[in-house]
Each structure stands twice: as C-alpha cells, then as structure tokens.
Amino acid sequence: MSANVRPKCGANKYDCWRSVGLVNFAGLTKIDETTRPGALVEIAAESNLPLVYLCNGQRVPEDLQSATPEFFVARILNSANSFAQIS
C-alpha cells in the first residue's frame, strides 16, 4: 500500500483485504514520497498486521527493504527532517 494514503483509508483497505484472506502482512510503498511520515505509524498500527516490507523508491523489487524497527524509524526521521527543511 502506498504511504501516501490517508491513514484511515489505509486501515480500511487492509481490513477489507484481510477479511477475504488476501493479506496477512503489511507492506508500505512510496515511503520516499510521503510528506506525513507519522501516517506510516498510523497505517501500521491500525492495520493490526505485521509490517514486513517498506519500499523506498520506484524500483521493485530492488528498493524493497525489510521493515526492521531501525529502518522504519530512520525513514520517518529522515522524512520529517526533509519536510522541516522545506517548510
């Protein structure tokens, strides 16, 4: 799912997919394009699914990363710092 999605919409999508057995883990793409890094945390928390993959770029599968806590936090902090510099 795109990291640009609104958190509530993202959680609703995951709930729909999960209810029909289409998904049992979460992956977020376009994390390099989001201006709301906190939304990533909301999507992961509200989906109640383990966050397994993050995609930081346009090349799949080359840009897929394991969603380790360290990488997840670093991405959020990098996004927040980049956005703060623009504002």
Dump pLDDT digits (tens) for 7-45: 778 778 777 887 887 777 777 788 788 777 667 677 777
Task: Identify the pLDDT of residue 83.
Answer: 40
pLDDT digits (tens, 9 = 90+) for 52-76: 888 888 888 888 888 888 887 887 7
Contact 1, 18 (CB under 8 A): no
CATH of domain 7-86: 3.40.50.300
Q: Which of 17, 40, 21, 29 is nearest to 62 (CA)?
A: 29
On whether the CB atoms of residues 60 and 35 are closer than 8 A, the answer is no
Domain ranges of the chain: 7-86
pTM flag (> 0.75): no
Predicted local confidence at residue 84, as pLDDT: 42
